[in-house]
Structure 1
Amino acid sequence: MKYKNKIQHNQSCKECKERIFELLTNVYGDVEKQYKLGILTNLKHYEENKRYSDMEKIFNCLTNERGHENFIKKPNLSPVDYYIKNETDKSKEFILEFDESQHFTNLRKVALENYPSSLNLGFDKEKWISLCESLNRHDNDPIFRDEQRAWYDTLRDFAPSILEIAPTVRLFASDYIWCELDVGNENDLKKFKNIVEMKIKHGNSYYCE
């Protein structure tokens, strides 16, 4: 694969997002964009879940960081970027998120640092923490937006343990010029599939550079 200068490429490129959908469909078949998981956003709904104490710890850390407590403004989690289905084995289904720079905030770092080591992830947590430190984005409209985004991303990462599916995969928008990948090129398809599969299998021990 050949790539343009990453600095010159708009990470919000709509073509990149569409290309990822095309690649996922080519590799996995049944893929849905903007898929509603049916996950609730309020912590109290998870009191009987085995992950409740972990989620409560993260939520409390987020609220304590800047004192913003009322950042949950809707009952249901907004749709995930992509949902990959598997008709024969639900445990192989997974969420794939395309993370642009606005997701890498100090509040996201706070959440990630409090993830339990037992939580399976489809991305390298340490790399994501490092990106939070280096990019250090802020969104104060509304004033609690960083807490809100960090909590919703946390729910997407915990969703597999709730839904009993494979770990949530995250792609960093600036890792590649994704729109330059050619769906008709066998090498590009293999490369893309390898990136996704390695993230699912190795999570915290896999860096995608």
Structure 2
Amino acid sequence: MTKLWDNITASDVKKAIELFNRANENYPEPRNTFLIYNNTKYPAKHIRGLAYFVANKKEISKSEYSGGQETATFFKRLGFTVQYKKATLKPTEKSKPTPKQTNQAEAQKPITKKLNVVSQKNAIQRLLQKHFGHIETEKKFDWLKTPNQANLPKEYSQIVKALSEYRNQNGFQKSNYQLLCDIVLEDHKLIIEYDENQHFSKAREITLENYPSTIKLNFLKETWINACKKINAKDNSPIDRDEKRAFYDTVRDIEAFRHGYKLVRIKHGDIDWEADGAEKHLKQIVSIADKQNENPTKHKIARLIVTGKQYDKYGNPNFSKLEKLIEKFLKTEYHKRTYEFILTPGGFLTFDF
């Protein structure tokens, strides 16, 4: 854990501050520790956690690190000023970061106009096509379906229980319902979901709070939960629309992770995708996903190797034994690795013409 903290740079902290500003959260004021940047006070421990996410591409629970003096010392070492117990603590001159010279136009401006959802989605698609080539929209995957409620995977058990207890609505518990993805970059194993305001509801907050720790996300769960609390969207047509939408988003998050895809969520209104410079944010999103895939499982072609046990002494295949080999392969590999091709020995499969 200590080594991962060492990965954080002053640049990561500044990016964390940008994330915080974009989220526009009504974050509770800390008791005694603030990070001071550009004459603005920020919740130091929270910014430290965001910086950890930026540098290491994974979240950390606030229970895993301390605020107060420890966090104040952390930021001072990176060259930042902090306020701790009403005392302003400045960094040493040696560690003070050199201010980056930027044009005022390059800085992200607050969004004041109302953004059209369709126009924003189209702008994202155009930028992706321009910089990354082929993309797919409204894509279906065979594996992207709601789970079997009669044999519910353990990842979903607590989520389904909590969501059902929210308003006693169970309509979302429909098995094998096919879902779509907003945008897919197959070459990058990346799914991009664009979340409009209606996705930030109490029901969605409940699902997010009950995600198992084994599911790795590529968006800041805490930021999404805070947005749910702030927006508190309600869509009661039909009566269980919030539950269904929240659960379907949950299935996308979990199944994408289980099948080796990185799913990134973009919150509507955080960035104007039609504005100049928007492409740099999109490049950053794809770049982060690619970095997380630096050492992916490379098994795209599987080769089945047989021994003499599957053949008689004359070299004829015993098809019942070959079927068992296929069954064993599926049992050990299904949901763990993705293969585009399976190579089998000659005579393994036969066809009637």
Normalised by the shorter chain, which TM-score bucket?
0.7 to 0.9
**2:148 corresponds to which of 26, 31, 43:** 43
- Determine which structure has greater relative contact order: mean sequence separation of CA pairs < 8 Å that are 6+ residues apart, divided by chain length: 1
Offset at residue 135 of structure 1 (A)? 0.4
Counterparts of 1:16 and 1:132, CA distance in 2: 21
**Equivalent in the alignment of 1:153:** 249
Q: Within 1, Cα distance between the matches of 2:151 and 2:182?
A: 23
Between the aligned partners of 1:118 and 1:27, the Cα distance in structure 2 is: 33
Structure 2 unaligned blocks of 5 or more: 1-105, 293-353
Partner of 2:99: none
TM-superposed CA distance for 1:64, in Å, is 1.0
Q: Which residue of 2 aligns with 1:77?
A: 178
Given candidates 275, 280, 289, the residue that maps to 1:190 is: 280
Q: State the secondary structure of the residue aligned to 1:168.
A: strand
Q: Which amino acid is 1:175 matched to?
A: D
Partner residue, 1:66: 167
Distance 1:158 1:200 in 2: 19
Q: Give the aligned residue type for 2:157.
A: E
The number of aligned residues is: 186
Percent of aligned pairs with the same residue? 32
- Structure 1 residue 95 and structure 2 residue 191: aligned? yes
- How far did residue 101 of structure 1 move? 0.4
Is this contact kept in 2: 1:71–1:144, CA < 8 A? yes
In structure 1, C-alpha distance between the alignment counterparts of 2:155 and 2:215, rounded to whole Å: 10
Q: Structure 2 counterpart of 1:30, which letter?
A: H
- Larger fraction in strand: 2
Distance 2:151 2:141 in 1: 15
Amino acid at match of 2:282: F
Residue of structure 2 in register with 1:116 after alignment: 212
Q: Deviation per CA, 1:133-177, whole angstroms, max 9, x where unpaired?
A: 000000000000010000000011012233222x21000111011
- 1:6 is aligned to 111
Structure 1 residue 192: deviation in Å? Answer: 2.1
1:206 is matched with none
Name the CA distance, whole Å, in 2 between partners of 1:159 and 1:23. 26
Q: Cα gap change, 1:175/1:53 in structure 2, threshold over 3 Å: closer, same or farther? A: same
Q: What runs of 5+ residues in structure 1 fail to find an aligned partner?
A: 87-91, 182-186, 203-209
- 1:130 aligned partner: 226
Deviation at 1:2, TM superposition (A): 7.5
Task: After superposing the two structures, state which structure 1 stretch, 38-47 or 153-162, moved more.
Answer: 38-47
* Distance (whole Å) between structure 2 residues aligned to residue 161 and residue 195 of structure 1: 17
CA contact (8 A) 2:217 2:263 kept: yes
Deviates more, 1:134-143 or 1:172-181: 172-181
For the 8 Å contact 2:159–2:207, the answer to whether it is kept is yes
Match of 1:16 among 93, 99, 120: 120
Structure (1/2) with the larger helix percentage = 1
Contact 1:169 1:200 in 2 (8 A): no
CA distance in structure 2 between the aligned counterparts of 1:151 and 1:171, rounded to whole angstroms: 18
Task: Give the drift of 1:116.
Answer: 1.7
1:188 deviation in Å? 4.5
TM-score in terms of structure 1 length: 0.78
**The 10-residue stretch of structure 1 (142-151 or 72-81) with the greater mean CA deviation from structure 2:** 72-81
Tell me the SS of whatever aligns to 1:8: coil
Equivalence for 1:171:
266
Q: Secondary structure at the match of 1:121?
A: coil
1:37 counterpart SS class = strand
With over 3 angstroms needed to count, the CA separation of the structure-2 counterparts of 1:104 and 1:6, relative to structure 1, is same
Distance across 2 between alignment mates of 1:122 and 1:95: 10
Distance 1:193 1:180 in 2: 15
Q: CA RMSD in A?
A: 2.5
The code of the aligned residue for 1:35 comes to K
Please give the per-residue CA displacement for 1:29-73, whole angstroms capped at 9, x wherever unaligned. 2210111123222433764xxxx2121211111111110012356
1:200 Cα offset (Å)? 6.9
2:115 partner SS: coil
| Distance of 2:160 and 2:290 partners within structure 1 | 25
**Do the aligned residues in 2 keep the contact of 1:139 with 1:145 (CA within 8 Å)?**
yes
CA apart distance, 1:11: 4.5
